[in-house]
Structure 1
């Protein structure tokens, strides 16, 4: 990672500081990483729940920890290391939120690799639908007409149900405190031979349902495991180091808002040790369910999150570029560098490894509370 990874705005994050038991709450000012950990405001959760998160981060007293660009680049082992920028929040994710790419995957699946058949299916299905897919609203009468047409053609699936049906797919991506941050290894379960990154924007949401900021995320996905059965979603999604977030949460202010998120374009670049390069982009303007509706589907009278949550919004990018020969498609190799970026949020880069080879997750909420209590920060 390099200096171009540093976004503007009011930034909130966490860092492991050498020689210090607990992670520091940090921000970025004038190119310096600043420790703003304070009694009563010693966690990202505390700041988010304060009702004045942006103001607090902007005005809080702090001490410099070093050059932010050098820290992001992990230039020296003696420097602090950025962690995922959330702590006690639940880590949730929404799936199948881009209708256009979803229906294209269904068409390709039904065609079984026959491009001519895919073209014919596309014409046939679009003729039945009779609408612009990018304007299809999940759960609407038009969407239900599409559902009926696809069922008649024998191409309905549980993924289409959550893609254009009335209910969004919301699942637990990882446990609080288990996500990794920029520069860390991300993990693939060793049983998987077909997997991919999922570049996404993730929202920081308070316990009251207020959306106060956003960050970047990699929802590491095992396509072969989930493809065997949707009931294996937990095994496909929640493994050691399978959730990456960062580099910072950018808090909403007058210049950066939820509307900024809705118009963002998220870039993906995968660079392999074998020389393979994959690039793609995901345009948030094409999301089928609004971020507000996904948050409402996650928490409310039906479900509470007293420490708030971070919510991955989904991706329209499904990598299909052949890697090891024609028709073999894409899957990760150990050592791949995955970089997810958008100008407003910076760049999140991680190296791919097996989940069994990534550092084990050993520091949880109980450890954080004990360490903060010992430091008289609670």
Structure 2
């Protein structure tokens, strides 16, 4: 199933989509307003999240499938982390931007992946909201990524992420990575959380991104997560090592869609990211 968090006049609601039907789980259980509520019950009852949801469907109201361009952040994530240099093209792009290119090649082929902190809850935006670019950077790019949703350190689902990056800042010196990655509105997540049963193989999903400006398309590309050099399980294992990951977290898995050198996001651009079996993440761009 896919799980959406909608926010209206009556507060947040959790909607489950199964094929062409959608169900308001909050109508069945008012205490269920977030994906984490299902994850908690699943963890203590030794069920899958989808099994917990199915138990509620008989009492849930049938509703319209949520508009994926205007939903809330699908998971009440405490922290967002990210992995880098997991695709060959990403390694090549970061070599090109940096005065120290060899360090990226070393990471791409190393046993230990690059895992870094990306965002707290208040820095994340939902599908339909404005993602940010830094005002002190003149080279800003979107990075479409498969996001692994974790509950108590275990994989419970997948979402779409946009790991927006200030390449001019990181390119000056790799030690500036935190400033290039962590700032207001630096990350978009959505539109939903898809459970592992719905996604099937996370290492074989088609991903597309388009960027629109003034009514025209200025970038479009497609790739597959099969190009990722590391597995989701491997990346999660390194995130969890000697690290107290909070109850709810997302780990972004890296990008292989890199606009050509010279491309930079500008205010009012629209970024659209699609991943098979998950959905469509849409954000316009603003300067922060």
1:25 aligns with 2:14: yes
* Distance in 1 of aligned mates of 2:55 and 2:123: 29
**Deviation of 1:333 (Å):** 1.5
**Deviation of 1:109 (Å):** 6.2
Match of 1:305 among 245, 249, 258: 245
The equivalent residue for 1:128 is none
CA contact (8 A) 2:123 2:183 kept: no
The equivalent residue for 2:273 is 340
- Structure showing the higher strand proportion among its residues: 2
* Matching of residues 131-142 of structure 1 within 5 Å: none
Deviation sequence 1:91-140 (CA, Å, 0-9, x none): 1111111135424663x569x9xxxxxxxxxxxxxxxxxxxxxxxxxxxx
* Distance in 2 of aligned mates of 1:100 and 1:333: 23
The equivalent residue for 2:188 is 244
1:295 aligns with 2:236: yes
Structure 1 residue ranges without an equivalent (≥5): 1-9, 74-80, 113-154, 322-328, 356-378
Deviation sequence 1:187-234 (CA, Å, 0-9, x none): 111111101100111011221x32121111111111111112222222
1:219 aligns with 2:208: no
CA contact (8 A) 1:180 1:243 kept: yes
CA contact (8 A) 2:199 2:278 kept: no
* Distance in 2 of aligned mates of 1:105 and 1:229: 11
**Computing the radius of gyration over CA atoms, which structure comes out larger, 1 or 2?**
1
Q: TM-score, normalised by structure 2?
A: 0.86
CA contact (8 A) 1:54 1:252 kept: no
CA contact (8 A) 1:184 1:351 kept: yes
Match of 2:88 among 87, 99, 120: 99
* Distance in 2 of aligned mates of 1:319 and 1:165: 25
Shift of the 40–299 alpha-carbon distance from structure 1 to 2, 3 Å rule, reads: farther
CA contact (8 A) 1:202 1:216 kept: yes
Q: Which runs of 4+ in 1 moved over 6 A?
A: none
Structure 2 residue ranges without an equivalent (≥5): none
* Distance in 1 of aligned mates of 2:188 and 2:6: 15
**Deviation of 1:179 (Å):** 1.7
CA contact (8 A) 1:195 1:224 kept: yes
CA contact (8 A) 1:94 1:170 kept: yes
Deviation sequence 1:303-336 (CA, Å, 0-9, x none): 1224132110001121106xxxxxxx20111111
* Matching of residues 37-48 of structure 1 within 5 Å: 38=29, 41-48=32-39
* Distance in 2 of aligned mates of 1:104 and 1:14: 35
Aligned positions, number:
279
Match of 1:314 among 254, 262, 271: 254
CA contact (8 A) 1:72 1:82 kept: yes
RMSD of aligned residue pairs (Cα, Å): 2.5
The equivalent residue for 1:361 is none
**Deviation of 1:35 (Å):** 4.4
The equivalent residue for 1:362 is none
